[in-house]
Structures are given as structure tokens and as C-alpha cells.
């Protein structure tokens, strides 16, 4: 592996692996997105650990490794490398020293970061998004979209209104009974039929399919958390004439979501691994980018190198998500959230 393998094929193809067919003259947009993702990851890391210089140093080191890899991909200046490293390190430092931030502030920052990424990356067109960047952005966007939809489905399934309960149950069971690839492909086909005069990019249709599918699983996770909330608290709140909205928002959901954090974070990993299915609607995800490289006759004999690299990246990201899940679970167990 270290001596006989020809790893130069990976170094020479990193631009395709990381950004797909994104225009080379617009790669500063990808770098902005990388910096934003580093800042979001660093802030999350900082919020999940106790204050300490070691954590900041570890975050900065991780940023340097990530940025160095991407810097080799697109052959940009060391200034961009430093900027990405600094973004993660500073965000981690801020998160560590402001671990008492309100959850709404943290969520608002996350949404603002994702929105900024979409605004900056979109001018060249959604159809040129690709590589690892597409897989990561798709995962984050779908994870955010599925949470509120899943919560509404879970509440609908336990609603006292019979029609709402039947509709929510039917939707959840239907989505859980069909494969993801069928839902994504169906949404991709049906949207142009419903709106023939409107051109909806394949990426947005794919995100809609993923969100509709995984929202059903989020609903079941949240429903299990709702059942864990003591009924005495609910009855006490109703005896005080508390409205259904206030009861759910202030009492039930905070406790329910705390219980289901591990499966919710685990589903992020499922979404990331399932992002490979976007190839059926013409998008170039990380795995498809590797297959495109191997389709070149010059690289046809480099199957080992490409797939080992893909495996290593998937393993690293999956391990990071798993670690974040454990840290968040431990953080919530201390009662700081």
C-alpha cells in the first residue's frame, strides 16, 4: 500500500473528488463553504467539551489537516489554508468559552451558515455541484429539514384529532415501507409534472426526496421520546389550562428531544451514506466522482487507490459523526442543556 500503490492518481484528481465539475474559476466559492463548514464544526466541537487549551489545540490541528487536504485538492494559496484552519480553531475557542449559549442562538447560527453556503455556491448553478462538498452540504441541509417535519409528524401521530392522526400514521408507515432510491426518483419525476412551467434544479428535488423520506424516521424517533415524558407532567400542565402549543414547546419536546439525540445524530450518518444515491438523478456525489476518475482510460488501473481513498474519507467522516454523537450524549447527560 505504501510502496507499490500509485497514489499520485488521488493527488491529481482531488479537485474532482472534492468539488466534482464545479468551475475552476469559481473555486473561491467552494473555499468559502469549506471555511464556513469548519467554523460550524469547530463551534459544535467547542460547545460539546469543557474549557481547556488542549481542546482548542486539537481543534486547530484538525482544521489544519482538513484544510491541508483540500488545499492539495484545488492547489490554492497557503492563505486560504490558514483561513480555514483559523475558522475552525476560532470557532472552537468561542464555543468552549460560550458553552452556555441558548440553543436558539446556536440553531440560528447553524441555519445562517447553511444559508450562506447555498447563497455563495449557487451562482454557477446547482447542476455543477459535486464531490465531497455536495455530499456534506446535502447531508447538513437534509438533516435540518427533516427535524421540524419529523416533529410535526410525531405530534400528528399522537394528536387527539383522528383525521390528523390517520394521515400522519399513513405517511410514516408508507415512507418506512419503500426504499430511499424509489422516493428520490419519484420526487425527481413528479415535480416537473406538477409544475411544468417551473424549472426546479435536480439538487433541490433530490433534497426534497431525502427530506420526505428521512422525516418519517425522525418522527418515529421523536415519538419514542414523547412516550418517555412522564404523563404526570402533561396532566399537571393541562390542569393549569396550559395551551397545547405551550405544553409541547416548553415541557414535552425539550425532554423528548434530549432522549432521542443519539438516534437523531446517527441518522445524520445514514443520510451521508445514503447521499450516494443522488447519481440516479444526474448528480455527482463523492462516490460518483471516484467512478468518473476510474472511467478515464489513463486511470482505469487505479481502482485500488481510488476506492481505498474513498473508504478512508467515509470512515473518517463517519467516525467524526459517531464521536460527536457520543460527546453530545455525554454533554446532555451532565444536565448542561
pLDDT tens digits, 146-188: 999 999 999 889 888 889 999 999 999 999 999 999 999 999 9
Binned at pLDDT 50, 70 and 90, residue 60 comes out as low
Burial (CB count within 10 angstroms: exposed 0-12, middle 13-18, buried 19+), residue 198? exposed
Q: What is the pLDDT of residue 102?
A: 55
Predicted pLDDT at 142? 93
Mean pLDDT of the chain, nearest integer = 78
What is the C-alpha end-to-end distance of the chain, expressed in Å? 46
Angle, vertex CA 177, rays to CA 224 and CA 171, nearest 5: 65
Whole-model pTM over 0.85: no
Amino acid at each position: 500500500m505504501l510502496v507499490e500503490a500509485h497514489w499520485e492518481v488521488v493527488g491529481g484528481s482531488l479537485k474532482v473528488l472534492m468539488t466534482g465539475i464545479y468551475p475552476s474559476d469559481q473555486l473561491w466559492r467552494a473555499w468559502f463553504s469549506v471555511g464556513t463548514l469548519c467554523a460550524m464544526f469547530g463551534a459544535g466541537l467547542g460547545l460539546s467539551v469543557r474549557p481547556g487549551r488542549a481542546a482548542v489545540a486539537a481543534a486547530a490541528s484538525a482544521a489544519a489537516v482538513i484544510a491541508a487536504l483540500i488545499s492539495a485538492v484545488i492547489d490554492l494559496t497557503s492563505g486560504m489554508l490558514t483561513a480555514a484552519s483559523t475558522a475552525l480553531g476560532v470557532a472552537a475557542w468561542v464555543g468552549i468559552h460560550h458553552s452556555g449559549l441558548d440553543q436558539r442562538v446556536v440553531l440560528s447560527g447553524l441555519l445562517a451558515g447553511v444559508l450562506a453556503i447555498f447563497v455563495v455556491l449557487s451562482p454557477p448553478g446547482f447542476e455543477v455541484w459535486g464531490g465531497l462538498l455536495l455530499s456534506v452540504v446535502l447531508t447538513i441541509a437534509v438533516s435540518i429539514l427533516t427535524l421540524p417535519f419529523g416533529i410535526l409528524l410525531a405530534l400528528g401521530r399522537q394528536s387527539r384529532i383522528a383525521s390528523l392522526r390517520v394521515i400522519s400514521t399513513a405517511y410514516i408507515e408508507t415512507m418506512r415501507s419503500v426504499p430511499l432510491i424509489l422516493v428520490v426518483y419519484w420526487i425527481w419525476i413528479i415535480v416537473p409534472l406538477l409544475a411544468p412551467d417551473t424549472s426546479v434544479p435536480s439538487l433541490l428535488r433530490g433534497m426534497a426526496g431525502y427530506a420526505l423520506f428521512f422525516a418519517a424516521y425522525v418522527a418515529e424517533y421523536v415519538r419514542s421520546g414523547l412516550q418517555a415524558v412522564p404523563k404526570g407532567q402533561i396532566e399537571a400542565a393541562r390542569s393549569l389550562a396550559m395551551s397545547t402549543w405551550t405544553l409541547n414547546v416548553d415541557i414535552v419536546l425539550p425532554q423528548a428531544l434530549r432522549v432521542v439525540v443519539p438516534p437523531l445524530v446517527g441518522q445524520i450518518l445514514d443520510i451521508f451514506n445514503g447521499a450516494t444515491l443522488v447519481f440516479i438523478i444526474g448528480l455527482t456525489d463523492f462516490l460518483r466522482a471516484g467512478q468518473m476518475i476510474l472511467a478515464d482510460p489513463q486511470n482505469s488501473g487505479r481502482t485500488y487507490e481510488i476506492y481505498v481513498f474513498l473508504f478512508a474519507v467515509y470512515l473518517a467522516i463517519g467516525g467524526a459523526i459517531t464521536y460527536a454523537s457520543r460527546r453530545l450524549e455525554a454533554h446532555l447527560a451532565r444536565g448542561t442543556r
